[in-house]
Amino acid sequence: MDTKDQDKLKDEIIAEIKEKNEVTTLDLSKKHKMDHQSIVGIIKGLEIKEIVESEKMETKQIILTEDGKNCLEKGSPDIQILKELKANGPQTKKALIEKIGEKCFNQGFKMCMKSKSITHDKASDTLTLKIEEIPTEDKIQNLVKKVNDDNDPSKYDANTTKELIKNLKFAQIETNKFFKVKKGKNFDLGNVKFETDLTTELLSNDKWEKAKFGKYNYNTKGKEIQNGALHRLLSVRNQIREIFLEQGFEEMPTNNFVESSFWNFDSLFQPQQHPSRDAHDTFFLKYPKSANTEKKFPDYFLRVKEMHEKGGFGSIGWQYNWSSEEAEKNILRTHTTAVSSRVLYKLAEEYKKTGKFIPKKYFSIDRVFRNETLDNSHLAEFHQIEGFIADYELGLGHLLGTIEDYFKRLGIDKLRFKPAYNPYTEPSVEIFAFHPVSKKWVEIGNSGIFRPEMLMPMGLPSNVNVIAWGFSLERPAMIHYHLENIRELFGHEVNLKHTQDASIYYFKE
């Protein structure tokens, strides 16, 4: 039954209660030709909204058994035998059984012998009628007829019911549970739709004051959940997400798996001849080959070109001919620093519009792609935990402190920092953690302070610094789960039985 039909039925039921003040679920089930249980379900739905009230009831009915129905149709067993003998003369037991059935014969035979209306010759096993006239009135059949017409057991005295139920087994008592339904507090509202949840929408525009809420039915059976398990990587990812959110970081939108080289490299002041920009390291798209970055961000596009070619703000740039065609090439993003770059550009735009710069903390956790040789610890796609803080006068101390704090929250307090090189950060710092099981220092991230050559063309205030990092998600997760092969963590070889069990992230001794 679809919701439309259900609504129609509800309206009809409400109209009936309006007219009669009271109905029973049994009546409703008969009238609407619907099974009783479904009617009860509908009534319970209306009751939660207090449109109706219901009261649990019980009735007992006396109803005929199969043997009782046989008697109703053909007469009581003894009369059936007597009639046969009268019509066709003495007969063997066997012949009679064939005609009226064994059960009926046995019952009737006993009754006839008791009333001495027949004789039984054991030698020939033949039955003979001993009375002249067969009773014109079949008392038992009459009683069965009465029960069939009126099955209220209170109408029959104890002896009658005992005879019918216990002795003859022609009837039995059935108990029916049902509900008496009356108008409820909200009856006049009719079949209204109730709000099921207090939503932000209701709260934010005062609709909640007028909204009608249904009562929760705490006794209802919950929906069965199709149980699934969180992928290990997702589980670790959720925990990291929590850490950032707790510290007031905002999540960046990471929905561009396909990115233009411009955002992935050029905006980060990564020169176009840089080795990571060739097909050995990066996946280039055949179709659509080019992005439309210049059209969307014409001024910024030119400022980036200028910075690469000639520099500015005290820098001499890279001193080469920057190609807009190269910048427009579509690729699969090689790092989520492309995401940070887009977000920083937006912050700069806002600053330009409002004249106000608001310090911000951002993070993201998502997939990146590299054209790597696959082995036990390298896949062509993996996840990066990216983040940055943009604020006035930030320095290396803030960067290292922030990183230390983050890893401490994950249970890692032995860290080492190593000077490194990235085209877009200065200084740049690689992060190593001590793995207590393998007793080795392993690289778990890279970080730095974004260069002015990256931030100035965006238009951020010159005294705003951005400390930033990119951490690996898989590497520490592998250590945590004691996995040697990255394919056991990511890809089609993952064992689905490995459910969410990462209560502590990793490096816990």
Applying CB under 6 A, which part among 105-113, 204-212, 347-355, 462-470 lies near ligand PHE? Answer: 462-470
Joined together, the tokens standing for residue 56 give: 């649990």
From CA 439, how far away is CA 188, in angstroms rounded? 74
Kindly identify the residues of this chain, within the stretch 25-54, that bind ligand PHE according to CB under 6 A. none
How many residues touch ligand PHE under the rule CB under 6 A: the total is 10
Q: Is the peptide bond before 427 cis (omega within 30 degrees of 0)?
A: yes
- In angstroms, the first-to-last Cα distance of the chain is 58
CA distances from 507 to 149, 224, 244, 330 (A): 81, 37, 19, 38
Q: How many CA atoms lie within 13 A of 223 on its CB side?
A: 3
Among 24, 270, 337, 364, binds ligand PHE (CB under 6 A): 337
Nearer to ligand PHE, 79 or 467 (CB): 467
Nearest to residue 459, comparing CAs of 325, 313, 314, 332? 313
Q: Residue 425 interacts with ligand PHE (CB under 6 A)?
A: yes
Question: With contact defined as beta carbons under 8 Å apart, do 294 and 301 qualify?
Answer: yes
| Angle in degrees, CA 208, 212, 214, rounded to 5 | 120
Applying CB under 6 A, which part among 139-147, 390-398, 468-476, 478-486 lies near ligand PHE? Answer: 468-476
Applying CB under 6 A, which part among 86-94, 183-191, 454-462, 464-472 lies near ligand PHE? Answer: 464-472
Q: Beta partners for 422?
A: 425
| Least separation in angstroms between CB 423 and ligand PHE | 10
Burial annotation 233-259 (CB, 10 A radius, 16+ → b, else e): bebbbebbbebbeeeebeebebebeeb
DSSP secondary structure letter of residue 447: E
Q: Residue 470 interacts with ligand PHE (CB under 6 A)?
A: yes
**DSSP labels for 9-78?**
HHHHHHHHHHHHSEEEHHHHHHHTT--HHHHHHHHHHHHHTTSEEEEEEEEEEEEE-HHHHHHHHH--HH
| Least separation in angstroms between CB 446 and ligand PHE | 4
Q: Residue 270 interacts with ligand PHE (CB under 6 A)?
A: no
| Least separation in angstroms between CB 10 and ligand PHE | 59
Starting at the edge strand that comes first in sequence, how are the strands of the sheet with 91-92 ordered?
91-92, 126-129, 118-121
Applying CB under 6 A, which part among 65-73, 275-283, 467-475, 477-485 lies near ligand PHE? Answer: 467-475
Nearer to ligand PHE, 301 or 424 (CB): 424
Residues 6+ apart with CB under 8 A from 354: none
Among 269, 297, 469, 507, binds ligand PHE (CB under 6 A): 469
Binding mask 436-455 for ligand PHE (x = CB under 6 A): ----------xxx-------
Question: With contact defined as beta carbons under 8 Å apart, do 432 and 419 qualify?
Answer: no
Residues 6+ apart with CB under 8 A from 424: 268, 269, 270, 337, 448, 450, 451, 454
| Least separation in angstroms between CB 335 and ligand PHE | 4
Nearer to ligand PHE, 181 or 338 (CB): 338
| Least separation in angstroms between CB 372 and ligand PHE | 12
Task: Provide the CA 46 distance to its chain's centre, in angstroms.
Answer: 25
| Least separation in angstroms between CB 314 and ligand PHE | 21
Nearer to ligand PHE, 469 or 505 (CB): 469
Kindly identify the residues of this chain, within the stretch 158-197, that bind ligand PHE according to CB under 6 A. none
Residue number closest to ligand PHE, CB atom: 470
Applying CB under 6 A, which part among 172-180, 281-289, 341-349, 466-474 lies near ligand PHE? Answer: 466-474
Joined together, the tokens standing for residue 90 give: 């003495």
- Beta strands at 440-450 and 425-435: parallel, antiparallel or unpaired: antiparallel
| Least separation in angstroms between CB 223 and ligand PHE | 43
Nearer to ligand PHE, 269 or 469 (CB): 469
Among 277, 305, 335, 475, binds ligand PHE (CB under 6 A): 335
| Least separation in angstroms between CB 399 and ligand PHE | 9
Nearer to ligand PHE, 392 or 421 (CB): 421
Nearer to ligand PHE, 174 or 281 (CB): 281
| Least separation in angstroms between CB 409 and ligand PHE | 19
What is the H or E stretch that residue 444 is in? Answer: strand 440-450
**DSSP labels for 385-431?**
EEEEEEEET--HHHHHHHHHHHHHHTT---EEEEEEEETTEEEEEEE
Nearer to ligand PHE, 265 or 506 (CB): 265
| Least separation in angstroms between CB 305 and ligand PHE | 22
| Least separation in angstroms between CB 222 and ligand PHE | 45
Nearest to residue 344, comparing CAs of 325, 329, 326, 364? 364
Nearer to ligand PHE, 82 or 431 (CB): 431
Contacting residues toward ligand PHE, per CB under 6 A: 335, 337, 422, 425, 446-448, 468-470
